[in-house]
Chain A
Amino acid sequence: MGEKIFVEGNEAIGWGAIAAGCLHFFGYPITPQNEITEFFARELPKRGGCFVQSEAEFASIALLYGGASTGVRAMTSTASPGWSLMQEGISCMVNAELPCVIVDVQRGGPGQGTVTHSQMDYLSATRGGGHGGYKTIVLAPHSVQESHDLMQLAFCLADKYRNPVVVLSDGVLGRTMESLEMKTLEFGPLPRKDWAVKGTAEKAGVRSAVICAQGTTDWPPYVTMLERFGKKWDQMRDNEVRYEAYQADDAVLLLVAFGYVARSCKEAVNMARSQGLKVGLLRPITMWPFPYEVIRNRALEGVKFLVVEDNLGQMVDDVRLGVEGKAEVHFLGALARHVPTSLGMIMPETVLEEVERLL
């Protein structure tokens, strides 16, 4: 068993990255993720790593583009407005097939929004927020331990597919303190990074070219490239779906939630179960690829769904796609916060009230 420490979710992101061998971080201060940037500023220099504070998130992502081109494990982290500024860079990294990890600790939006929390970047994160219709795997932790563990998975999946991976956290999770078991996860062999630039002398004179636009080299032709990307994204969709089913087997009502709201929902399930109500939770861990299949199967069994998310309705669209009109889909969102301010949260009691109303 690994050493146990008591830390915030944001710091757990950092420890997870270091456990994955990431020694390269490029970032810009923005609330509520500052603890991540400060973590790397503190921890990387003493490990011989590379920390650069950029002038803006659009520069963090450009520095990361350069860092990832060299084949090292590298990352950045930001919060919602910064996430917006990174979209062109992420689109280019998908095109250039650069593996890296981008963490978005969501604050409230739209605009500069709030500095606290929300789950309002779901659509932007899962639909390829930038131009060009690309795909990235999106992992959403719901605990401090999972923040740490999913960072390691994120680096593995990035290398496996040569594609950026997004870790979608939120301001509540980022600042929740829990105990964390420090452990290095093993995921098996990964492809060699023989495409990385290091200077040709490092590779017996063989040249590497990292390209994010078509037409500057003869290869690959545009449609060949699109075909390859399409196949890769299909493989991600088919092979990387992850979710947690909590008290779900005999449930007649399934909550669907992610991130901090999944914690409220787990508690609501416990409260409902103590009253004898057959309620469970289905928690997507990969927000893309989304677990449509399990939702469709449960819909065919006659299960009702209640989607709970701290926004005005985003993931609920995916649940509706999943049920294909075969089941009731209800929604509880940001308007159900326990106080109507930026500090309000979706609490277990509110979820339970909605469950009782529906059953």
Chain B
Amino acid sequence: MKEKIYEKPAKLMPDIMGLCAGCGHGLFDKAIFEVLEELGIVGRAIGVFGIGCGNGLIRLTELDVVQAPHGQAAAVASGIKRSLFGKPIVFTRQGDGDCAAIGLGYLLNAAARGEKITVFMINNANYGTTGGQMAPTTIIGQITGTTPEGREPGAHGYPLHLPELLVSMKGVAYCARGAFNNPANFQRTKRYIKTALQKQVDDIGLSFVDILSPCPPDWHLTPLESLKWMDEKMIPEFPLGEFKNVDRIEK
């Protein structure tokens, strides 16, 4: 008698993901669908997709989905949540360019308004879709298409740490940073994703998870070297963990 120990989440459609070898985006789809099923909120969930590499996965997402104009996912998600008077569970799925550069204002203002939405940022420290240019999250010394000599603070400023920034905002119920670089960190990140969505189910405030994710082609590394680079360079810059976790926000 064979025992079933794993199956694909029911609402993730079986199709070609179309991602590069070693990309972390597909892991987010696995994690989010497992969590939606575990929380029993698949039917209430609405996914808002930003513009970037995660975009193509709209195709595989058997949920109600809205594609937001570039950077605007936090505002679009807020409009959905408010228009349905808080009933659905609305999450965004954005890259670090979409969320932390062009989308930063939308995110911070949604946080300031205490919107009951959940923002997931798949952070690969560069603009993946456009071929690997500098993002706000590019680390010092990292070579990209627009920092050919490496990111240098005098010319390009410093990496942006969003969970650390959001901690101070009253409308934020939860913020954390995880990483998709080994099975233990995947499981830990999945718990963060679950907690973030639970905050929305409990109607507390905005929740946010920064998810470090490999991007071998644009880092000019092999998939295996990419995981090592995350350990040695990326995680020291972007420490993992929960930065804020409250069950109640004072009026």
Contacts and interface: CB of A to CB of B under 8 A. Distances in A.
Interface of A: 24, 26, 50, 52, 54-56, 58-59, 62-70, 72, 74, 88-89, 92, 96, 197-202, 205, 207-213, 215-218
18 contacts: A26-B79, A55-B109, A63-B78, A65-B66, A65-B79, A66-B66, A66-B79, A66-B82, A67-B79, A68-B79, A69-B76, A69-B83, A202-B43, A208-B64, A212-B68, A213-B67, A217-B58, A218-B59
Contacts of A210: 65-67
Q: Which of B45, B65, B76 has the most CB of A within 10 A?
A: B76
A34 to B, nearest CB: 20
A72 B43 CA distance: 19
Interface stretch (B27-35, B48-56, B173-181, B196-204): B48-56
Contact of B88 (A58, A72, A96, A198): A198
A155 to B, nearest CB: 15
Q: Which of A59, A63, A64, A89 has the most CB of B within 10 A?
A: A63
B80 A69 contact: yes
Contacts, number: 136
Interface of B: 42-46, 48-49, 51, 55-56, 58-59, 62-69, 72, 75-85, 87-89, 105-106, 109, 113
Contact of A216 (B42, B55, B64, B106): B55
B83 to A, nearest CB: 4
Contact of B84 (A70, A208, A213): A70
A62 B69 contact: yes
A80 B56 CA distance: 36
Contacts of A62: 68-69, 72, 75-76, 79, 106
Contacts of A64: 79
Contacts of B80: 66-67, 69-70, 197
Contacts of A201: 42-44
Given A66-B80, A70-B84, A198-B84, A216 B59 contact: yes
Contacts of A26: 79
B82 to A, nearest CB: 5
Given A66-B66, A199-B44, A210-B65, A52 B82 contact: yes
Contact of A212 (B63, B67, B84, B106): B67
B88 A217 contact: no
A201 to B, nearest CB: 3
B64 A217 contact: no
Given A66-B68, A210-B65, 17 more contacts: A52-B78, A52-B82, A52-B113, A54-B75, A62-B106, A65-B72, A66-B77, A69-B83, A92-B69, A198-B84, A199-B45, A199-B89, A202-B43, A209-B64, A209-B66, A213-B51, A216-B67
A70 B83 contact: yes
Contacts of B65: 197, 207-210
Given A55-B109, A199-B46, A207-B62, A63 B79 contact: yes
Nearest to A50: B82
B87 A89 contact: no
Contacts of B77: 66
Contact of A207 (B64, B89, B106): B64
Contact of B67 (A24, A63, A211): A211
B92 to A, nearest CB: 10
